[in-house]
A and B are shown apart, each in its own frame.
Chain A
Amino acid sequence: MRSTFMGLETNKRGLFTQQTALYTTGHNISNANTLGYSRQRVNMQATPGFPTAGLNQPTYPGHLGTGVEAGSIQRIRDQFIDRQYRQETNKLGYWDSAAKSIAQMEDIMAEPSEFGINQSFTDFWKAMEDVIDNPKDSAARQVLISKGKSIADSFNYMDRQLKQIQGNIGNEISVSTDKVNSILKQIAAINKQIQEVEPSGYVPNDLYDARDSLVDELNEYIPVSISLQKTGGLAKDVAEGSMTITYVPGDGSTPIKLVDGKEYAALATMDTNNQRVDGEVDEQATGGFYNFSEIKISAIGEPPGDPATGPYTIDYSQMDQGKGSLRALIDAYGHSGGQGTYPEMLANLDKLANEFITKFNDVHKAGFGLDNSTGLDFFSGTTARDFKVVITDPKQVAVSDTTGEEGNNQNMRKLAELQTQAQANLKQGTFQSYYKSLVGDLAVKGQEAERSAFNSATLHLQISSNRDSVSSVSLDEEMTNMITFQQAYNANARMITVVDETLDKIINGMGRVGL
C-alpha cells in the first residue's frame, strides 16, 4: 500500500530537481563570458518506481512513478575537439613566435631603404668613384674615410642590435620556461583538489574547466599529451579524474611525465655551457650567447627537485618541429652549433664583414698614398662587431699604384672594381648581392612564418568555433531552458496544491455527513 503523503514527496523531489536545473541555468548565464567555461547540464533521472522489488512487495497493478532526481551535473565538452584545439595551439604558438622574431630582425635590417647596409656599400663605392675623379682632392678622400666609417658603423650597429634581440629572446625562453613550470604546478594543484572531491561523489565541473584552460595555455609553449585517471571511491561515471601530462619526445624515446596526480616536474632550458638560458651576455668579448643545448626535466614530486640536475633531458632533435612557442624561440635564439635565425644571420654578417675587410685591405696595401705611404690597412677587424676604419689621414688613402704620382688613380679603380667582383667565399656573389641574398632569405622565411601564423590562426578559430558550438553558453538556449524549468517548477507546486486539497478533503471533509 502506498503512503498517504507519497504525492507530496514526489512533487517535492520535482520542485528540488527543477530548482537545481534553474540554478544551473543561472550559473551558465552568469558564466556566459568566462574564458574556458563549459555549459553545464543537470542529468535528470526518474527515481525508482513503486513498489520496489522485494520479498514482501505489495501487489500492485503497475509500477507507480515516484518522481525525478538530479542524477549528476555534467559539463558539456568534446575531448576530441580539445585535442584538435591543442594541436592547432601548438602550431599557432610556434608560428606566432617565429613571425615575431623574424619581424624584429627585419626592423633592424631596414631594407629596402636609404640607410641600410646596402646603401652604405653603395655610398662607399660612390665616394671611391669621386676619389677616382679627383685623386688628390683631400676633401674627396676625407669623404671616402667617412663613408668607410659608416659601413663599419652599419655592421657594428647591426651586430649589436641583433645580439640585443637575441638576448631578449633568451630572456623570453627563460620566462616561458618559468611559465610552463608554473602551469604544471597549478595543474597538479587542481588535480589534488579533484582527487579530494571526486571520491565523495561530486563532479567538480568548474575545476575541470580551469584545468583544461591551463592545458590549453601549456600547449602554446610546448606540445604535451594528456590522459585521465579515474578516481576511486564513490566517484561518479561522469567524473573525469586526475590528469596525467607527459612530454612525448619527437624521436620516439620514452615519454617523460610532467604531471601525475598532485606531483609535478620542473623544466630548465640549458645552454651549451650547462647554464640556464637567461638572455645575459655569455661571451663578454663578442657580446654573444651560448646556444641552447637541451631542456632538463626533474623527476616528478611535490615539490619537484632542481631541474638543472635532471634526470631527464630533451635535446633539440627530440623536440617536435613547428610546435610550441618555446621551440620557435629556440629556433631563433640558436641551437646545435650555431644554427638558428639569429646566430646564422650574425655569422653571415661576420663572414661578409671579414671578406670585405680582407679583400679591401689586400688591394689597399698594394697602393700608395699622397705621402707615399704604402702597405697600410684601410679597415681593421675580422667580424661585424670589431669592423673599424684605421686610416685617419686622407693622405694615406692608397689611391695611386705608383709612388709619387698624385693624379694616379689606378689603385682606387681596383678597389672600386671589388664592388662588382664575384667573391668565391660569398657564394660567387658580390658583397652587395650576398647581402641582398641574406635579406631575401630572411624575407622568404618571414613571409612563410607570417602566412603560417595567419593560417594557423584561421584554423584555430575554426576549431575554437567548433568547441564553442559544443561548450559555450547560448543565452537563447538558457532562456528557453529557464522558461521550461520555471514552468515545471510551477507545475510541481500546483501538484502539491492538488495533493494538499485531496488531503484536506480526507482530513477535514470526511465523516462530517450532514454538517
Chain B
Amino acid sequence: MRVTQSMLSSNMLRNLNTSYSKMSKYQNMLDSGSKISRPSDDPVVAVKGMGYRIDLDKNQQYQRNIRDANTWLDTTDESLDQVGAALKRVKELIIQAATDTTTTDDRQKINAEMQQIKEQLRDIANTKVGENYIFSGTHTNLPLYTDSTGPQNPAITPAGGQKSIDINIFDGISMNVNTPGADLFKDIDGFMTNINTLLQSGAPAAEIGDTLGLQTTSGGTTIPGLDGIYENTLTVRADVGARQNRVELMENRLGIQEVNVTKQLSLNEDTDYAKTITDMVTQDSIHQAALSVGAKIIQQTLVDFIR
C-alpha cells in the first residue's frame, strides 16, 4: 500500500485526539470522583445510581422519623414513670390514712398532699413534646385538662382522643407514637377526686382502705381501685416499652442499611482512584510516545536529504 505524509498526519491526529479524549475522561473521573459524568457513559450505573440515591434519602428520612418517634415514646415513658411514682405515693398515703391511729388533722394534711398529687397528675396528663400534647390523641393542640379542677377538655372528641398518631418508619411500616391517655387519666382523676371527698368527709379508716382494691361508683361511672389503676398504668407503659424496642430494632436495621446503600452507591459510581490514576499514567506515557514518534516521522521527507 502506498503511504503518504497526509495519511500519517491524519492518523496521528486522530490517535492524539482519541488519546486526549481518554485523558480528559480520566481527568473528569479523578476531579469529580465519579465514574460517569452523563447517563450515556454507562446507563446501568446511572439508573442504579438514581435508585441508590432514592434509597439513601429514604433511609435518612426514616432515621429522622425514628428520632421523632423516640422523642414521643421516651417522653411518654418518662411521664408514665412519673404517674407510677405518684400513684405509689398515693398508696402510701392511703395506707397511712387508713390507719385508725391517724388523726383527723393528719388526714387533712394527707388530703392536702393528695390535692397536690392530683394536680401533679393533671400536669402529667398535659405533657407536651414540642408543641404537641402527647395524651390527647390526634387533638395534639388541646391539653387533656384546661384547669386544675374541671373535667377533661370537652373540645377533645371521644373519637379523636382515642386516635393513634402514626409515623412511617420504613416502606409500608408505620408505628403509632402517641398513647391516648384520656381513659387512663380519667380513671386516675376520678379516683383522686373520690379519695379527696372521702378524706374531706372524715370517712372511717376501713372505707378509705377499701379504695385500694375496690371499685367505686361515683356519679354513674365506675372507677377501679388504686391497684387496678396502677395495673393499667403498667400495662400502658409496657406497651410503650415494647414500641421503644421495635423502634430501636428498626433504627439498627436502618443504620446497617445506610452503610450498605452508601457502600453500593460508592461501588456503583465512585472513581477507583488507584485504577484510574494508573490508567491515566499509562495513557499519558502512550500519549508522550505518540507525540514524539509523530514528531519524528512527520518532519522527515526526502526533501531533508536532497542537497
Closest chain-A Cβ to B31's Cβ sits at a distance in Å of 16
| CB contact list, A397-440 vs B, under 8 A | 400, 402, 404-410, 413, 416, 420, 432, 436-437, 439-440
- Taking a contact as CB atoms under 8 Å apart, the answer to whether A436 and B138 are in contact is no
Check: A240 CB closer than 8 A to any chain B CB.
no
Given A122-B53, A442-B39, A443-B39, also A479-B167 (CB < 8 A): no
Can you list 12 pairs linking A and B with CB atoms under 8 Å apart?
A32-B5, A132-B166, A132-B168, A405-B157, A407-B138, A408-B160, A446-B43, A465-B7, A468-B6, A473-B6, A475-B303, A476-B301
* Known contacts A469-B4, A475-B303, A483-B306; A118 and B39 CB within 8 A of each other: no
Besides A129-B62, A443-B38, 9 more A-B contacts (Cβ < 8 Å) are A102-B40, A112-B46, A133-B65, A405-B138, A405-B163, A407-B141, A408-B138, A447-B41, A468-B4
Q: CB-CB < 8 A to B138: which residues of A?
A: 400, 402, 405-408
A479 to B305, CA, bound (A): 10
B54 adjacent to chain A (CB < 8 Å): yes
Residue of B nearest to A465 (CB): B7
Encoded as 1 (CB less than 8 Å from any A CB) or 0, chain B from 119 to 141 comes to 00000000000111000111111
Q: Which residues of A contact B157 (CB under 8 A)?
A: 404-405
> Interface readout for A26-40 with B: 1 if CB under 8 Å, 0 if not?
000000110000000
**B65 touches which one: A106, A129, A420, A480 (CB < 8 A)?**
A129
**Which residues on the B side are within 8 Å of A107 (C-beta)?**
38
Flag if B40 contacts A443 (CB, 8 Å): yes
- The residue in A112, A125, A416, A473 that gathers the most chain B C-beta atoms within 10 A of its C-beta is A112
> Which of A85-93, A134-142, A274-282, A356-364 participates in binding chain B?
A134-142
Cβ of B178 under 8 Å from chain A: yes
> Which residues of the other chain, A, contact B148 by a CB distance below 8 angstroms?
none
The reply to whether A111 and B46 form a contact with Cβ atoms under 8 Å apart is yes
Given A407-B138, A440-B47, A106-B166 contact (CB < 8 Å): no
**Which residues 98-119 of A have a CB within 8 angstroms of B?**
102-103, 106-107, 109, 111-112, 114, 118-119
* Nearest CB of chain B from residue A462's CB, rounded to whole Å: 10
Is B150 at the interface (CB under 8 A from chain A)?
Answer: no
Of the candidates A136, A442, A465, A472, the one whose C-beta lies within 8 Å of that of B140 is A136
**Cβ–Cβ < 8 Å partners of B68 in chain A:** 133-134
Check if A474 is an interface residue, CB within 8 A of chain B: yes
**B residues near A450, Cβ cutoff 8 Å:** 40
Cβ-neighbour of B168 out of A33, A413, A474 (below 8 A): A413
Please tell me if B10 contacts chain A, counting CB pairs below 8 Å.
yes
> Which residues on the B side are within 8 Å of A106 (C-beta)?
38-40
Complex: A432 Cα to B46 Cα, angstroms: 14
Q: Which chain A residues numbered 439 to 462 have a C-beta less than 8 Å away from chain B?
A: 439-440, 442-447, 449-450, 457, 461
On chain A, the residues within 8 Å of B51 by CB distance are 436
| Inter-chain contact A479/B7, CB cutoff 8 Å | no
CB under 8 Å from chain A, chain B span 39-94? 39-43, 46-47, 49-51, 53-54, 57-58, 60-62, 64-65, 68
- Say if the beta carbon of A236 comes within 8 Å of chain B: no
Q: Are A122 and B174 in contact (CB under 8 A)?
A: no
Contact B165 A443, beta carbon cutoff 8 Å: no
Q: How far is the CA of A461 from the CA of B6 in the complex (A)?
A: 12
Cβ-based interface call for A209 (8 A): no
Taking a contact as CB atoms under 8 Å apart, the answer to whether A420 and B40 are in contact is no
Interface presence of B11 (CB below 8 A): yes
User: When each residue 178-212 of chain B gets 1 if its CB lies under 8 Å from chain A and 0 otherwise, what string results?
Assistant: 10000000000000000000000000000000000
Can you name the residue of chain A whose Cβ is closest to the Cβ of B159? A402
Shortest Cβ distance from residue B78 to the other chain A in the assembled complex, whole angstroms:
19
Q: List the A side residues contacting B139 at CB < 8 Å.
A: 404-407
Minimum distance in angstroms from B248 CB to a CB of chain A: 18
Is there a chain B Cβ closer than 8 Å to A126's Cβ? yes
Q: Chain B residues near A102: list those with CB within 8 A.
A: 40
Known: A132-B167, A132-B168. A443 touches B43 (CB 8 A): yes
From A125, A133, A443, A469, contact of B7 by CB (8 A): A469
In the docked arrangement, what's the CA distance between A407 and B54, Å? Answer: 28
Residues of A within 8 A of B61 (CB): 125-126, 129-130
Please measure, in the bound complex, the distance between the C-alpha atom of A474 and the C-alpha atom of B2, giving whole angstroms.
9
A134 CA to B134 CA, complexed, in Å: 12
Complex: A114 Cα to B52 Cα, angstroms: 12
Nearest B-chain residue to A480, judged by Cβ: B302
Question: Which of A112, A129, A136 lies in contact with B50, CB distance below 8 A?
Answer: A112
| B154: Cβ under 8 A from any A Cβ | no
Is the beta-carbon distance between B160 and A130 smaller than 8 angstroms? no
Shortest CB distance B149–A (Å) = 26
In the complex, B253 has a CB within 8 A of chain A: no
Q: Which residues of B contact A469 (CB under 8 A)?
A: 1-4, 7
* Contact of B166 with A33 in the complex, beta carbons under 8 Å: no
Interface residue A225 (Cβ < 8 Å from any Cβ of B) = no
Contacts of B105 in A (CB 8 A): none
Q: Are B11 and A436 in contact (CB under 8 A)?
A: no
CB closest chain-A residue, reference B3: A469
Tell me, in angstroms, the Cα distance from A32 to B9 when the chains sit together. Answer: 12
Q: A111-B39, A134-B68, A400-B138 are in contact. Are A470 and B49 (CB under 8 A)?
A: no
The residue on B at minimum CB distance from A409 is: B165
A377 to chain B, nearest CB (A): 24
Whether, in the assembled complex, B227 has its beta carbon less than 8 Å from a beta carbon of chain A, the answer is no
Is the CB of B100 closer than 8 A to any CB of chain A? no
**A333, B27: Cα distance in complex, Å:** 33
Contacts of B49 in A (CB 8 A): 112
Contact A443 B47 (CB under 8 A): yes
Given contacts A106-B39, A112-B46, A447-B43, A137 and B14 within 8 Å (CB-CB):
no
Residues of B within 8 A of A123 (CB): 57
Task: Give the distance to chain B from A79, nearest Cβ to Cβ, in Å.
Answer: 17
CB distance from A195 to the nearest CB of B (A): 31
Interface: B172 (CB within 8 A): yes
Give the shortest distance, in Å, between A95 (CB) and chain B (any CB).
13
Q: How far is the CA of A129 from the CA of B65 in the complex (A)?
A: 7
- Residues of A contacting B174 in the complex (Cβ-Cβ under 8 angstroms): 413
Closest 4 CB pairs of A and B: A446-B40, A407-B140, A443-B39, A443-B43
Assess whether B270 is interfacial by the CB under 8 Å rule: no
**Residues on the B chain within 8 Å of A470, using CB:** 2
Complex CA gap A450/B301 in Å reads 37
Q: Does A464 contact B (CB under 8 A)?
A: yes
Tell me how far the C-beta of B298 lies from the nearest C-beta in chain A, rounded to whole angstroms. Answer: 11
Given A134-B68, A447-B43: A118 in contact with B53 (beta carbons within 8 A): yes
Judge whether B258 is part of the interface by a CB distance below 8 angstroms.
Answer: no
Question: How many Å lie between the Cα of A473 and that of B9 in the bound state?
Answer: 12
